[in-house]
Structure 1
Amino acid sequence: MTDIDKIAKANDLLRQTFLTGKVVMTAGVHSLPDDTREEIITKVRGFGAFTEDNDPYGEHDFGAFDQDGVGKVFWKIDYYDPTLTKGSEDPADPKQTRRVLTILLAEEY
């Protein structure tokens, strides 16, 4: 398994289960009605529309979709060291990496 495969697999696990990392939502997402927020979470977990345009490195670390009544929603996975104070030196190594999944409205970007 290549490092890219390891990274994509770890990112998919976090995105699909919300386990193995930290998940945060911006104030805009958090302020949405509960049912809308739940629809967004479901779409993030089920996201599979990876293409060369939105996933050029094959890491499955970003996605975007339209949400009725809200507009464009983004999600992004970033790689930090275990203390969350700087970037990970090796995102393929789970011992050196803490993943953070952020869900945000495009207008907040």
Structure 2
Amino acid sequence: MTVADICRPVSVRDLNDAFRRSFAGGKVMLTVGVAALPEADRDRLLSLVRSYASFDPGNDPHGEHDFGAIKHGGERFFWKIDCYDTDLLHASPDPTDPAVTCRVLTVMRADEY
């Protein structure tokens, strides 16, 4: 294992956290079920995504902070960050390089997964 291998998850984690907290520097996608929520519920759900901090080895085995599960209004929701190339056609060649990466955060109802 190289120093780059050890440091990479921290860089990806930091970039994912910054994007998730701000929704800046990427795209946020809502599934049909989330988009159909009343505006106040949708806003609260997105606020919970932004403030999510319940990472542990069970839900974040690679330490990249790219997935979370949230309960809101008696329902379970997931959010997921994927790193694509800037054309959104393939995986990013280097998720630690914002110049070649577009982060996409998808928020979905658990039953839409």
Q: TM-score, normalised by structure 2?
A: 0.92
Cα drift, residue 41 of structure 1:
0.5
Match of residue 20 from structure 2: 15
SS of the aligned residue for 1:40 comes to helix
> Could you list the runs of 5+ residues in structure 1 that have no partner in the other structure?
none
Aligned length: 108
Structure 1 runs of 4+ aligned residues shifted over 6 Å read none
Question: How do 1:6-85 and structure 2 match up within 5 A?
Answer: 6-69=11-74, 71-85=75-89
2:108 matches 1:104: yes
Cα drift, residue 77 of structure 1:
0.1
Cα drift, residue 38 of structure 1:
0.9
2:93 matches 1:89: yes
User: Structure 1 stretch 1-10 or stretch 11-20: which is displaced more?
Assistant: 1-10
> Could you list the runs of 5+ residues in structure 2 that have no partner in the other structure?
none
Q: TM-score, normalised by structure 1?
A: 0.95
- Aligned-residue Cα RMSD (Å) equals 1.1
Percent identical among aligned pairs is: 44
1:31-68 deviation line (CA, Å, top 9, x unaligned)? 00111101100100000000000000000000001111
1:58-85 deviation line (CA, Å, top 9, x unaligned)? 000000011114x110000001001111
* Bigger helix fraction: 2
